[in-house]
Amino acid sequence: MKAIEQANRSNVTKWEDEDTDIEVSSETAVAAITRSEIEAQLDAAHKYPRSIGKFGVTATKLATYNQAIAESCMYSVPRSGKMISGPSVRLAEIVASCYGNLHYGSRIVDTDDTHITAQGIAWDLEKNLRVTVEVKRRITDRNGRRFNDDMITVTGNAAASIALRNAIFRVVPRAYVDTIYEEAKRLVTGDAKSFTARRDEFLTRLAKIGVSQERVLARLNKPSVSDIDPEDLATLVGLGNAIKSDTMTLDDAFPDVGSGGVPAAPAEPAQDGKRMSMKRGPKPAETEPERQPGDDD
What count of other Cβ atoms lies within 10 Å of the Cβ of residue 163? 29
Q: Does residue 148 carry a pLDDT above 80?
A: yes
Residue 16's DSSP bridge partners are 21
Which domain covers residue 95, as residue numbers?
A: 54-261
pLDDT in tens, 237-277: 999 888 887 667 888 888 887 644 445 444 443 434 344 33
CA gap 174, 168 in Å, rounded: 10
Q: Tell me if residue 233 falls in helix, strand or coil.
A: helix
Q: How many residues does the chain have?
A: 297
Handedness of CA 78, 80, 81, 83 (dihedral sign): negative
Split into its structural domains, the chain has a count of 1
For range 39-59, the mean pLDDT:
86
d(CA 41, CA 280): 49
- Given this model, what pLDDT does residue 193 score? 86
Neighbouring C-alpha atoms within 13 Å toward the C-beta of 20: 3
- Position 15 scores a pLDDT of 45
Percent of the chain with pLDDT over 70: 77
pLDDT of residue 6: 53
Asked if residue 50 lies in contact with residue 126, where contact means CB atoms within 8 angstroms, the answer is: yes
Residue 7 located in a structural domain = no
Spatial contact of 287 and 247, defined as CB atoms under 8 Å apart: yes
What is the DSSP code (8-state) at residue 293? T
Structural domain includes residue 279: no
In a domain, 47, yes or no: no
Q: Which residues are CB-neighbours of 215 under 8 A, at least 6 positions away?
A: 254, 255, 256, 257, 263
What is the average pLDDT score of the chain?
Answer: 80
Least confident of 15-29, 104-118, 167-181, 211-225: 15-29
pTM of the model: 0.73
**Lowest mean pLDDT, pick from 53-57, 70-74, 145-149, 251-255:** 251-255
Whether residue 128 lies inside any domain: the answer is yes
Q: Strand 74-79 vs strand 82-87: parallel, antiparallel, or unpaired?
A: antiparallel
State the pLDDT confidence band at 287, using cuts at 50, 70 and 90: very low
Q: What is the dihedral of CA 273, 208, 69, 130, to 10 degrees?
A: -20
Whether 297 is covered by a domain: the verdict is no
Q: Which of 40, 20, 21 is nearest to 12 (CA)?
A: 21
Q: Establish if 157 belongs to a structural domain.
A: yes
Q: Residue 294: what pLDDT?
A: 38
The answer as to whether 155 is a domain residue is yes
Q: Measure the CA dihedral 149/155/161/167, to 10°.
A: -110
How many Cα atoms sit within 13 Å of 104 on the Cβ side? 30
With cut-offs at 50, 70 and 90, classify the pLDDT of residue 24: low
Instruction: Please count the other Cβ atoms lying within 10 Å of the Cβ belonging to residue 264.
Output: 13
Asked if residue 37 belongs to a domain, the reply is: no
Q: Cα(202)–Cα(134) distance, rounded to whole angstroms?
A: 35
